[in-house]
Amino acid sequence: MWRLSLFILVMLSAWVSAAQASECPALLQGDLQKLRSQERIDLCAAFAGKPLLVVNTASFCGFTPQFKGLEALYQRYKGQGLEMLGVPSDDFRQEADSSEETAKVCYVNYGVTFAMTETQPVTGPAAIPLFKALTAQSKAPSWNFSKYVVDRQGKVIASFSSRTKPDDPALIAAVEKAIASAP
């Protein structure tokens, strides 16, 4: 009898795990190290079913002042469910050498409160799975501060170049569309 109970428990556990994995979009599978923290961000737990703006960032880029506008955009829409994820990358050779320096630029210089990760590769074969999925649904980042708007189902509904400022009407419209999307 105990073997049958154990078998049922194992099968039920496998079924629940499979169901949970199928509810999480492929784009959000995995986790990333949080900037200057021992914590990891479980992408599915943090962002599944939520509108999301993902940005690859760099501390010493001509577009770095966009952090101010990104934070303003986040503050404007976070009450409506918007999540934002900044992913520092040195793919374009403009990221700080240490996470301490990156954190200073983000948190101290620009007052960022949205989620930030440790430096990650975002282009080419070494790109992290999140950016491979973003690229598969749209295009690879061609420079720092490329922006990806993701709806509640984990689908990229728009992507924007570095030149698109956070207060650009097209970006705002895409964010509002993601917020309005059905879970």
Catalytic site residues? 61
- What is the distance between the alpha carbons of residues 142 and 146, in angstroms, rounded to a whole number? 7
Number of Cβ atoms within 10 Å of the Cβ of 165: 16
Instruction: Return all residues near 21 (Cβ < 8 A) that are at least 6 apart.
Output: 29
- What is the distance between the alpha carbons of residues 35 and 118, in angstroms, rounded to a whole number? 4
- What is the distance between the alpha carbons of residues 136 and 87, in angstroms, rounded to a whole number? 18
Mutual orientation of helices 66-77 and 169-180 as an angle, nearest 10°?
A: 30
